């Protein structure tokens, strides 16, 4: 259920980012959050779909944004298996690096202010919305079986 909610949010943000306001990459924030939240295959599927929808709405070559979302998402899911993202400095470094990697692969100019804002948003999401970062296994533990 939460996966489909993310999918609808991706559709909305892809439309919003291309039509209304393209100054900040809201989809990258959502993809990084999904990479910390979901298993590797689901996070990569969401990253691919986010790039595909962004390409469809913006009218650029198909696959360019998908690659730009897949690479940071893949690296973040790899590091998620090794490190615990309880440390805000680690979250900041990973989000800043993901923003740099996204700008590098997408061909956009790197904006350090936007990368800092993205990293700060990831820290805020991690610590003020902890229910977003519970893995699927952790949420299964809290379900009451009737």
- Fill in the DSSP letter of residue 108: P
Name, in order, each residue with C-beta under 8 angstroms of 66's C-beta and a sequence gap of 6 or more: 47, 48, 50, 51, 52, 55
Alpha helices in 16-86 (DSSP H): 26-37, 40-58, 64-82
Burial of 145 (0-12, 13-18, 19+ CB in 10 A): exposed
- The predicted-structure confidence for 87-121, as pLDDT tens digits, reads as follows 788 888 888 888 888 888 877 888 888 889 888 88
3-class DSSP assignment, residue 129: coil
pLDDT surpassing 60 at residue 1: yes
- Checking if the pLDDT of 143 tops 70, the result is no
**According to the model, what pLDDT value does residue 38 have?**
74
∠57-63-67 over CA atoms, to 5°?
115
pLDDT band at 130 (very low <50, low <70, confident <90, very high): low
Q: What is the pLDDT of residues 46-79, one digit of tens each?
A: 889 888 988 888 877 888 888 888 888 888 888 8
User: What global pTM score does this model have?
Assistant: 0.76
How many Å is the Cα radius of gyration of the chain? 15
């Amino acid at each position: 259920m939460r996966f489909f909610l993310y999918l609808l949010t991706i559709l909305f943000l892809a439309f919003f980012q291309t039509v209304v306001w393209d100054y900040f990459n809201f989809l990258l924030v959502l993809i990084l959050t999904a990479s910390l939240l979901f298993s590797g295959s689901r996070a990569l599927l969401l990253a691919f779909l986010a790039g595909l929808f962004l390409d469809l709405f913006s009218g650029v070559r198909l696959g360019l944004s998908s690659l730009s979302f897949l690479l940071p998402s893949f690296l973040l899911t790899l590091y998620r298996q090794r490190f615990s993202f309880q440390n805000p400095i680690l979250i900041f470094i990973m989000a800043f690096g993901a923003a740099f990697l996204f700008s590098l692969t997408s061909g956009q100019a790197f904006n350090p202010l936007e990368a800092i804002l993205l990293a700060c948003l990831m820290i805020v999401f991690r610590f003020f919305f902890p229910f977003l970062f519970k893995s699927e296994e952790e949420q299964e533990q809290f379900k009451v079986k009737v």
